[in-house]
Amino acid sequence: MNSLALNQFLALLYREVLENRNLFIGAPAVLAVLLFVFTAWIVSMAPEQELATAIEYLSVIFDGLSPVDMASIFMIPAIPFMMMLYFCGLIYLLNALYQDRKDMSVFFWQSMPVSNAKTVLSKVVTIGLVAPVFYVAILFVVYLIAVLWLTLLGFSYGVQVAGLGYMFLAAVASLALVYLSAFVTSLWLLPSVGWLLLFSAFAKRTPILWAAGVFILIGFLEDFIFGSQYLANWVESRSNPNQYFIYEFSDVTDRLLSYDMLFGVLVGSILLIGAIFMRRFID
Amino acid sequence: MLQLKNLLLRNRFSVLLATLTVYLLVLVVEGAITGREARVVDFENPFFDLTMRDFQDFRDARIEDNESDFSSADPDVL
């Protein structure tokens, strides 16, 4: 890829972030504020003695332990953010190739020297690589504020808080797990990504109804006509979050190079190619 | 080849149909080769085999039970 093509692609990614900053930045920021307010409310109601004991307990647990080994614990507070990422990703993918056709801006974008393949690929890269960066950044700010807050509280109660530094390092290490989980998820669910983009490029209105309706219809017809359930079984075999969540760094290569992952990428690519050809019809 | 391409890319519905056909073909072939079995909507249960004949047997059994109850009952009560 030459520098012009690279700059074009980076510009496409920048466009996606600008047009969807509510989904990629606003939504996790609001979630972080809500969680922070809820936590502050809980802490304000707890007795001081119990708070001091809890802070000391946290400090002792993490003190001296390897942050990488303890990182998986911090996947638990990241779950609401991961769920928010999936929800916002669903909305984003359904509107990705539909919204610009709806507001006619597609004519402007198609007048640019950018191919349909690059446009569709930029959507996939945005949801797989770019969007998780913002979620991870907001999680980092949340962890930083939480640790500073706990440290100040610990000082005010006269508790040893040296272990909170290790806890913060473990939380930072967990951000890599969160990012890797988001990336692996986008590859694992590439058939779903392709399906949503295909119907986002196809539907003249309500792409979500087309995407869900055609899926249900095909599953029903397969069962009714052929008596088989390959489609339903395919979806069922790939819908367990444990298949794409990364809890340890050593899991990454096993997940990325597994047969199911590679076959899913193949099937997702078929749907993405369909979405690229579908992008020709913008009437 | 060109005719086939023109046919597939004629309109949005032909593209959708072609894409979904290839998608399903790949899924079905892979499912058949790897031997994936349907598990989601499988209502078969060895402990509960529901057939219409069972309903008929059940009805016959109920009638027989009722007849035996009435035959053994005290005629004064009836």
Domain ranges for chain A, please list them.
3-278
Q: Which domain holds residue B28?
A: 2-72
Test the B interface: residue of A197, A225, A270, A271 with most B CBs within 10 Å: A270
Residue of B nearest to A279 (CA): B12
8 Å CB contact of A232 and B41: yes
Cα distance between residue B67 and residue B78, in whole Å: 13
Query: Which residues numbered 21-40 in B keep a CB inside 8 Å of some CB on A?
Result: 22-24, 26-28, 30-32, 36-40
Number of H helices, E strands in chain A: 16, 0
pLDDT in tens, chain A (283 residues): 688 889 999 999 999 999 999 999 999 999 999 999 999 898 888 888 888 888 888 888 888 888 888 888 888 899 999 999 999 999 999 999 999 888 888 888 888 888 999 999 999 999 999 999 999 999 999 999 999 999 999 888 888 888 889 999 999 999 999 999 999 999 999 999 999 999 999 999 899 999 999 999 998 888 888 877 888 888 888 888 888 888 888 888 888 888 989 999 999 999 999 999 999 887 6
Note whether residue B53 is domain-resident: yes
Residue B61: burial class (beta carbons within 10 Å; 0-12, 13-18, 19+) = exposed
Q: What are phi and psi of A279, to 5 degrees?
A: -65, -15
pLDDT digits (tens, 9 = 90+) for B46-68: 555 555 455 556 556 666 766 66
Note whether residue B77 is domain-resident: no
A-chain residues near B23 (CB < 8 A): 267, 270-271, 274
Residue of A nearest to B13 (CA): A202
Q: What ipTM did this prediction achieve?
A: 0.85
A-chain residues near B30 (CB < 8 A): 263
Cα distance between residue B7 and residue B5, in whole Å: 5
Cα distance between residue A152 and residue A146, in whole Å: 10
Note whether residue B36 is domain-resident: yes
8 Å CB contact of B16 and A274: yes
Tokens of A21: 């900053």
Note whether residue B78 is domain-resident: no
Q: Work out the mean pLDDT of chain B and round it to a whole number.
A: 71
* CB atoms near residue A84 (< 10 Å): 18
Residue A149: burial class (beta carbons within 10 Å; 0-12, 13-18, 19+) = middle
H helix runs in A189-221, sequence order: 190-202, 207-221
Q: What are phi and psi of A249, to 5 degrees?
A: -65, -30
Residue of A nearest to B11 (CA): A281
Tokens of B43: 């209502």
8 Å CB contact of B23 and A266: no
Q: How many domains does chain B have?
A: 1
Rg of chain B, C-alpha, whole Å: 29
Q: Which amino acid is at A43?
A: V
What's the Cα-to-Cα distance from A196 to each of A2, A41, A97, B28, rounded to whole Å?
30, 39, 9, 20
